[in-house]
Structure 1
Amino acid sequence: MGFSVVKNLIDGRKNWAARSSLWPLTFGIMCCALEMMAAGTGRFDTERFGMIYRPSPRQADALIVNGPISHKVAPRLRLLWEQIPEPKWAVAMGECASTGGKYYQSYAVIGGADEIIPVDVSSIGSCTK
């Protein structure tokens, strides 16, 4: 009887951790995407904090956008956003994803991700080393 109580307690904690973890989907286009990939490696290891990268938008609860949004990728970004189940959050990582960066005046760039999807958190600045 004591073993089942401990097992239920551990299972409850594991379920709470899975419920409370951030499972992001990355939408990386340029140099900030390289930094996002590096965050998942052994040196930084974001998985130990419960951040598990998902390959499918239907499994994710956050969308991390990197790089400027062009006219060509905007429909794909919108489609990915619509496939993420509620509750969901969007993070614009870096200056390019937030405002378009130095590519904002280009004919191909729309601007920041907030012009396509509702962005909850923006981080301004270049992510490259």
Structure 2
Amino acid sequence: MTAAPSDPATGFTCGLDATLRVIAGKWKPLIIYFLIQGSNRYGALKRAVRGVSDKMLIQQLRELEADGIVTRRDYQEVPPRVDYTLTPLGHSLAQALVPLCNWGSDNMETVAEIFSERERWQASPTAVASRR
């Protein structure tokens, strides 16, 4: 692959650039992953996407909605009931993420070992000095 100049019509350098701009953010791929299984209410997404703050989850959902990936349905009830669903564009993006999910599942142990090793050498001042 060679790097292509930015397309003036789209502002993207390639298809991967367009994709990464849509899924940019720590939580968006996980949100999409949990929505591919069907509609989810906010609370269910909050429990599924462990570690995300309310503020960040709301922000990421709004961005996905603005990008045409997610549809938000507000039932106008008290207490509030809102659910989120993937749009057809969102489903096609989710299908594109499936190979990444499979790679992660297939290599989870190796990646965990690598991250563990990285944490050890980042925490050790002698390890950092010896790497220079």
Normalising by structure 2, what TM-score?
0.28
The answer to which structure has the higher strand fraction is: 1
Larger radius of gyration: 2
The answer to which structure has the higher helix fraction is: 2
